[in-house]
């Protein structure tokens, strides 16, 4: 009994919400004609109930919408904010919204169960670990193309096309991206005090290896400081390579290769791990990095150099607190690039929604009305925060509503400025998004169904070695043969063959070959 | 005819003689077996009906909450789609089970799961019996305190215990290493060395489960009549003899039940224990990885309902077979002690 | 004889005292950390004696007392009602299958036990509870799903089978019906068993959070343990998926810090210490059979 209970708590964490639906076919699908041929039901069935809103104005019947989204922490004043939220929403589109926040740790399990049971609800946040693409393949979402054209045309044009592409599956759009920084840029976040002390010439750092002398100086001069935090973020783009997105970060193409030949575990990638082994042996990486809680050391300000891939404008202020209050500088080693849009944070509409038009209207509202957006992101002005004339907000001390997850709700470019952000942070970000170098094969979407078994086993194997390799604790050259053998056993070849096949098709379709 | 019928249906149980004596009549000989089977069954039903009624709430509950949803077992054999539901999704036979068996790791995780479960079962049972017998020697007011103390670990969730374990086993400033250094030994890199972990996990498991199991055995001991002990004492038996010759044998039915229940979960591991305490360190997998942790790692990013259903099904089937076997063995030895 | 007795008793006490301390140690650590100032935690890690005592973790928790109070209320209601009903039905069912003279003994035992091995799983249960029984966001969704545990039934069966058949037969001879026997004779006799299982059932309800996570969206119906586990799970999620967290700027400072987490654990588990003695009063020996002989 005890074991089963603990086993259950385990399953909670397992994203694959275990066993599934009973008589779901009978109960909730009836109205939405989703059960017949397996494709998510088009909104064709729904307008019958809300034909009055076809013109988008005048007589709108009152409806209730349900919206699931994740939060770090449940907020004490949730109800207050919901009431204020609904006041505005009711006025504008005659709808009341039932906000259903779910803690991050539970979101995947809970939403998968809700969807597997074909429960009625309207909007849900999709993104990491609840990727819209996967949900589409399982039949949980409805396509938004028509809804967008009818109810949110300006929203459509506001976002760059490649973002819509990132949310397109089999030709239809399945989510609305919450716009935010979409470019990536690799680089180092270095504690200012050390950079100054050892006169780091930031202009000379162009590659990962270039930081090595600096690390050595730290090691010699600062016995209590850990020079390097470890290589947790894979490099998926530099001057010579592009990573192929949507897979496991180990497929690459050469930037200048017109044949777009797919490379698997190229030497350059393996070299990075070799470098980590070297740095580990040299003592630049903490000897327990693979098993210790590095956050603790970072919070004490004991980490000198961190390698990161999101060096967005304003990151220095954000990361300062994490580094024990020490100032940091950013040393990028790549330009801004983007893989297209990898569906990191979006809102999608469920197949089981009874009012998809109204749901779309709500989403349009959230993304275009700063008052509404900031209400749900930051709370009630005056009560949960104070706003200055030039748009900066300061949260109230002990504020009872401070979710701090703007990117969950909608377009973050609409949010009020926070302390430490430059005044033009959103203009800068938008510019980055628009001008970032675009991955030529960024539109590739992989259908993992034929190889789920192999992927599952490969993930399990990587899980065993990842920490050891990215921190250099395991000597790469010694470990690789045995590790690779295990990968082969787990189905590496079959997986690669399937990826190759789908990639070739993609290249043909995209006209790249 | 109707006389015999009413006689047969009376619930005194003493009518069988009368029924048999009527078997000679020609009418009965034409279809004797079917009629008397039903009659007999009805008779039994009548005589057992009150007990049956008492058990109805339980039976009904299980029907609704356990058997009705059990139809979901078929998910393990389907490629589950949210819009097709359980009945609409496609059959895929044993595909969902493949990932559990195609690698070398499959052997490792199965071996670990089984060995650990056996270890937990045996060690916890022995320790709990030992403690229960000892507790029995003390006065009630003391046992209450000790029992409460032993039970406390039960309340801490594994995540929390993981934090505590980290505080002890942390290489650089964990309590254990600090003590080792103070005593002049070398510190051990606990999270990277897989050898000591079977012991660590067994100790931690024991720590968490001992209160629970001891309580059960202690309650069992309390059901043993004091007369046995009195008689033994008069005969000059020592405490040890009393424990071994009276207490343990009389607790046997309870021990058997508890053991069979554990056997049913032989392929189900304690996820929290094996995931949080070793801090999910890959270096330790060879000795800490069990079926449940492997599946978690494999399916975490895949989010596949069917595959995790398959795992559950596999664990259930194995547990079922083992229980049938165990119960069968017990039946051979002493039918009174078998579960059914 | 007397001297030998007290020496061995003395050893016993020593043994148990040491054992208890060893077992409680981690719990003490949790309490200690909950009273430690966060800064000193960062500096010195977990310590048994806080170098900087601080109530800030508790202040943080009790800052929104209504949340905690409501959670306590929910948990207590669910635990009391759940335990009573569960204990009753468990005892009834266990008693019936503990009677060797019950004809459907074996098949009922099998029927119950089978459900311990095989389960339809999460989603059919979810559908049952939400779509057929319409219990979403209801406290019944916290009580019913774990009302009857096969484990409890089997263990209770083990205890009840100790009751000698003669007692029951003599009652029957006096013309008593089965349910009267159950309520008037069996239940009083089985007090230690009831107390033991009652305790275990109460703990199960008190600690229950998974069903709450699935079925309860209304913040007013959130039980105590869910508050804690939710936070810990989310922290675990953020730590394991650090690339995601980094990209979106989530970091652990948004969560209750170390000492707060321990404080939540103490607040969630502490009250059980009160419940324990309540049940222990019934762990009385020999009341059962001895009284019958007369």
C80 shares a domain with C22 = no
Q: What is the pLDDT of residue A287?
A: 87
Q: What is the pLDDT of residue C285?
A: 59
Minimal Cβ distance to C234: which of A72, A321, A345: A72
A262 shares a domain with A173 = no
Q: Which of C32, C259, C258 is nearest to A293 (CA)?
A: C258
Q: Which of C222, B80, B296 is nearest to A118 (CA)?
A: B80
Interface mutation vs chain A, best among B75, B83, B88, most A CBs within 10 Å: B83
Contact C103 B48 (CB under 8 A): yes
Q: What is the pLDDT of residue C242?
A: 76
C150 shares a domain with C8 = no
Contacts of B294 (CB under 8 A, 6+ apart): A460, B105, B109
C49 shares a domain with C101 = no
A200 shares a domain with A91 = no
C81 shares a domain with C47 = no
Interface mutation vs chain A, best among C60, C86, C124, most A CBs within 10 Å: C124
A28 shares a domain with A125 = yes
Minimum CA–CA partner of A101 in chain C: C217
A194 shares a domain with A141 = no
What CATH number should be reported for the domain whose range is B103-300?
Answer: 1.10.3720.10
Contact C122 A20 (CB under 8 A): yes
Report how many domains make up chain C. 2
Rounded Cα–Cα distance for residues C223 and A7 (Å): 20
Domain spans, chain B? 2-67, 103-300
Q: What is the pLDDT of residue A18?
A: 33
Contact A18 C242 (CB under 8 A): no
Q: What is the pLDDT of residues A2-42, one digit of tens each?
A: 444 444 444 444 333 333 333 333 333 333 333 333 333 33
**CB contact at 8 A, A400 and A77:** yes
Q: What is the pLDDT of residue C5?
A: 57
Q: What is the pLDDT of residue A437?
A: 87
Final residue before a domain boundary, out of A338, A357, A390: A338
Q: What is the pLDDT of residue A51?
A: 39
C257 shares a domain with C221 = yes
C120 shares a domain with C17 = no
Interface mutation vs chain C, best among B219, B297, B326, most C CBs within 10 Å: B219
Final residue before a domain boundary, out of A316, A338, A360: A338
Domain membership flag for residue C161: yes
Domain membership flag for residue C162: yes
C47 shares a domain with C68 = no
A161 shares a domain with A128 = yes
Q: What is the pLDDT of residues C131-184, one digit of tens each?
A: 999 999 999 999 999 999 999 999 999 888 888 888 888 998 888 888 889 998
Q: What is the pLDDT of residues C212-232, one digit of tens each?
A: 999 999 999 999 889 888 888
Put simply, whether A407 touches C (Cβ < 8 Å) is: yes
A177 shares a domain with A321 = no
Q: Which C residues in the span 182-241 are in contact with A, Cβ-Cβ below 8 Å?
A: 204, 207, 210, 213-214, 217, 219, 222, 229-239, 241
Q: What is the pLDDT of residues B49-106, one digit of tens each?
A: 889 999 999 999 999 999 999 999 999 999 999 999 889 999 999 989 988 888 878 8
Q: What is the DSSP letter of A7?
A: H
Q: Which of A289, A303, A355 is nearest to A95 (CA)?
A: A355
Tokens 């508890």 -> residue = B258
Q: Which of C209, C263, C223 is nearest to C71 (CA)?
A: C223
Report how many domains make up chain A. 3
Q: What is the pLDDT of residues A213-257, one digit of tens each?
A: 999 999 999 888 999 988 877 787 877 888 888 788 899 998 888
A127 shares a domain with A54 = yes
Q: What is the pLDDT of residue A96?
A: 95
Token code pair at residue A308: 């990161």
C212 shares a domain with C110 = yes
Q: What is the pLDDT of residue B10?
A: 37
Which residues of chain A fall below pLDDT 50?
1-57
DSSP string, chain C: -HHHHHHHHHHHHHHHHHHHHHHHHHHHHHHHHHTB-HHHHHHH---SS-SSB--HHHHHHHTSHHHHHHHHHHHHHHHHHHHHHHHHHHHHHHHHHH-TT-TTHHHHHHHHHHHHH----HHHHHHIIIIIS--TTSTHHHHGGGS--HHHHHHHHHHHTTS-HHHHHHHHHTT--HHHIIIIIIHHHTHHHHHHHHHHHHHHHHH--HHHHHH---GGG--HHHHHHHHHHHHHHHHHTHHHHHHHT--GGGS--HHHHHHHHHHHHTTHHHHHHHHHTT--SSHHHHHHH-
Provide the residue range defining the domain that includes C14.
Answer: 1-54
- Determine phi and psi for A147, rounding to 5 degrees: -60, -40
Angle between helices B305-333 and B248-264 (to 10 degrees): 150
Domain membership flag for residue C59: no
Domain membership flag for residue A383: no
Q: What is the pLDDT of residues B12-61, one digit of tens each?
A: 433 444 444 444 455 555 555 566 888 888 888 888 888 999 999 999 99
Instruction: Please state the pTM of the whole predicted model.
Output: 0.85
**What is the distance of C-alpha B205 from the center of its chain?**
15
Contact A119 C64 (CB under 8 A): no
Chains contacting A (3+ CB pairs below 8 angstroms): B, C
Least confident of A373-382, B244-253, B267-276, C237-246: C237-246
C278 shares a domain with C169 = yes
Final residue before a domain boundary, out of A338, A368, A400: A338
A357 shares a domain with A297 = no
Mean pLDDT computed over B137-165: 86
Q: What is the pLDDT of residue A34?
A: 31
Which residues of chain C fall below pLDDT 50?
1-3, 286-294
ipTM: 0.89
Task: Tell me whether residue C142 is exposed, middle or buried, using C-beta atoms within 10 angstroms of its C-beta: 0 to 12, 13 to 18, 19 or more.
Answer: buried
A160 shares a domain with A269 = no
How many CB pairs (< 8 A) connect A and B?
A: 223
Final residue before a domain boundary, out of C54, C74, C94: C54
Provide the residue range defining the domain that includes A366.
Answer: 2-181+343-378
């Amino acid at each position: 009994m005890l074991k089963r209970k603990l086993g259950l708590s385990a399953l909670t964490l397992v994203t694959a919400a275990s066993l599934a639906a009973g008589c779901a076919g009978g109960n909730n699908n009836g109205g939405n004609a989703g059960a017949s041929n397996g494709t998510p039901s088009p909104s064709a069935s729904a307008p019958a109930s809300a034909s009055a809103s076809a013109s988008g104005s005048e007589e709108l019947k009152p409806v209730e919408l349900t919206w699931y989204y994740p939060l770090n922490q449940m907020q004490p004043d949730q109800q207050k904010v919901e009431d204020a939220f609904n006041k505005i929403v009711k006025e504008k589109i005659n709808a009341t919204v039932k906000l259903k926040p779910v803690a991050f740790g539970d979101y995947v399990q809970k939403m998968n169960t809700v969807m597997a049971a074909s429960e009625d609800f309207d909007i849900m946040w999709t993104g990491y670990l609840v990727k819209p693409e996967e949900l589409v393949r399982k039949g949980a979402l409805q396509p938004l193309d028509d809804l967008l054209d009818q109810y949110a045309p300006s929203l459509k044009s506001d976002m760059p096309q490649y973002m819509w592409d990132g949310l397109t599956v089999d030709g239809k759009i399945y989510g609305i991206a919450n716009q935010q920084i979409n470019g990536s840029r690799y680089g180092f976040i270095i504690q200012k005090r050390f950079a100054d002390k050892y006169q780091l010439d930031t202009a000379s750092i162009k590659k990962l290896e270039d930081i090595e002398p600096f690390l050595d100086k730290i090691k010699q001069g600062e016995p209590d400081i850990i020079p390097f935090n470890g290589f947790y973020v894979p490099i998926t783009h530099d001057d010579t390579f592009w990573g192929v997105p949507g897979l496991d970060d180990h497929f690459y193409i050469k930037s200048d290769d017109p044949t777009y030949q797919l490379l698997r575990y190229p030497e350059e990638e393996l070299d990075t791990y070799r470098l980590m082994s070297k740095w580990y042996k040299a003592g630049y990486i903490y000897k327990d990095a693979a098993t210790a809680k590095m956050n603790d050391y970072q919070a004490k300000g004991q980490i000198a150099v961190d390698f990161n891939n999101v060096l967005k404008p304003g990151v220095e202020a954000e990361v300062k607190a994490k580094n024990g209050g020490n100032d940091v500088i950013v040393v990028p080693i790549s330009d801004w690039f983007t893989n297209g849009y990898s569906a990191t944070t979006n809102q999608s509409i469920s197949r089981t929604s009874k009012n998809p038009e109204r749901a779309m209207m709500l989403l349009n509202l959230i993304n275009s009305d700063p008052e509404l957006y900031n209400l749900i992101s930051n709370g009630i002005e005056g009560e949960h925060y104070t706003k200055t004339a030039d748009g900066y907000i300061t949260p109230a001390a002990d504020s009872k509503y401070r979710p701090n997850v703007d990117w969950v709700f909608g377009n973050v470019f609409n949010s009020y400025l926070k302390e430490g952000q430059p005044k033009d942070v959103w203009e800068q970000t938008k510019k980055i998004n628009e001008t970032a170098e675009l991955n030529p094969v960024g539109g590739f979407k992989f259908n993992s169904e034929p190889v789920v078994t192999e992927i599952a086993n490969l993930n399990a194997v990587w899980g065993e070695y990842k920490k050891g390799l990215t921190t250099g604790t395991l000597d790469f050259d010694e470990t690789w043969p045995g590790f690779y053998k295990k990968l082969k056993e787990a189905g590496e070849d079959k997986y690669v063959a399937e990826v190759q096949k789908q990639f070739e098709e993609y290249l043909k379709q995209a006209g790249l070959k | 005819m109707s006389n015999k019928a009413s006689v047969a249906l009376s619930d005194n149980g003493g009518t069988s003689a009368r029924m048999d004596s009527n078997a000679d009549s020609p009418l009965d000989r034409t279809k004797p077996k079917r009629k008397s089977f039903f009659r007999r069954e009805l008779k039994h039903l009548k005589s057992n009906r009150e007990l049956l009624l008492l058990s109805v709430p339980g039976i009904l509950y299980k029907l609704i909450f356990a058997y009705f949803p059990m139809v979901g077992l078929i998910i393990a054999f389907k490629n589950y789609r949210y819009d097709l539901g359980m009945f609409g999704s496609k059959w895929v036979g044993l595909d969902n089970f493949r990932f559990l068996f195609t690698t070398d790791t499959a052997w490792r995780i199965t071996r670990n799961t089984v060995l650990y479960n056996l270890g937990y079962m045996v060690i916890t049972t022995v320790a709990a019996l030992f403690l229960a017998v000892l507790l029995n020697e003390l006065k009630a007011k003391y046992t209450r305190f000790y029992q409460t103390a032993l039970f406390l670990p039960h309340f801490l969730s594994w995540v929390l215990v993981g934090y505590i374990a980290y505080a002890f086993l942390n290489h650089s400033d964990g309590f254990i290493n600090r003590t080792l250094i103070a005593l002049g030994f070398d510190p051990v890199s606990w999270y990277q060395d897989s050898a000591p972990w079977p012991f660590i996990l067994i100790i931690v498991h024991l720590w968490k489960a001992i209160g629970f199991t001891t309580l059960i055995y202690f309650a069992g001991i309390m059901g043993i009549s004091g007369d046995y002990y009195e008689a033994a004492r008069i005969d000059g038996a020592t405490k040890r003899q009393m424990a071994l010759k009276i207490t343990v044998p009389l607790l046997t039915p309870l021990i058997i039940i508890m053991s069979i229940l554990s056997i049913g979960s032989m392929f189900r591991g304690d996820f929290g224990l094996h995931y949080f305490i070793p801090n999910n360190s890959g270096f330790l997998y060879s000795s800490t990885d069990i079926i449940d942790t492997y599946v978690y790692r494999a399916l975490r990013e895949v989010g596949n309902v069917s595959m995790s259903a398959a795992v559950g099904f596999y664990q259930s089937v194995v547990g079922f077979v083992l229980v049938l076997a165990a119960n069968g063995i017990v039946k051979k030895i002493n039918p009174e002690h078998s579960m059914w | 004889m007397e001297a030998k007795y007290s020496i061995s008793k003395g050893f016993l006490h020593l043994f148990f005292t040491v054992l208890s301390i060893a077992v409680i140690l981690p719990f003490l650590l949790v309490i200690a950390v909950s009273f430690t100032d966060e800064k000193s935690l960062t500096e010195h890690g977990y310590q048994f004696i806080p170098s900087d005592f601080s109530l800030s973790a508790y202040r943080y928790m009790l800052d929104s007392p209504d949340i905690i109070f409501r959670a306590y209320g929910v948990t207590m209601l669910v635990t009391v009602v759940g335990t009573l009903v569960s204990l009753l039905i468990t005892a009834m069912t266990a008693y019936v299958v503990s009677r060797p003279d019950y004809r459907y003994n074996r098949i009922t035992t099998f029927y119950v036990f089978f459900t311990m091995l095989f389960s339809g799983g999460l989603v059919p249960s979810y559908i049952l509870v939400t779509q057929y029984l319409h219990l979403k966001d209801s406290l019944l969704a916290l009580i019913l799903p774990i009302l009857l545990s096969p484990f409890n039934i089997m263990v209770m069966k083990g205890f009840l089978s100790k009751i000698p058949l003669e007692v029951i037969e003599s009652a029957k001879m006096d013309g008593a019906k089965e349910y009267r026997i159950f309520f008037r004779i069996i239940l009083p006799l089985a007090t230690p068993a009831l107390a033991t299982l009652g305790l275990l059932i109460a703990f199960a309800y008190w600690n229950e959070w998974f069903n709450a996570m699935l079925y309860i969206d209304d913040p007013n119906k959130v039980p105590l343990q869910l508050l804690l586990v939710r936070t810990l799970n989310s922290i675990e999620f953020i730590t394991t998926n650090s690339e995601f967290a980094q990209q979106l700027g989530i970091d652990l400072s948004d969560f209750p810090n170390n000492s707060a987490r321990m404080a939540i654990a103490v607040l969630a588990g502490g009250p059980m210490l009160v419940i324990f003695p309540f049940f222990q009063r019934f762990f009385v020996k020999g009341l059962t059979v001895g009284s019958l002989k007369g």
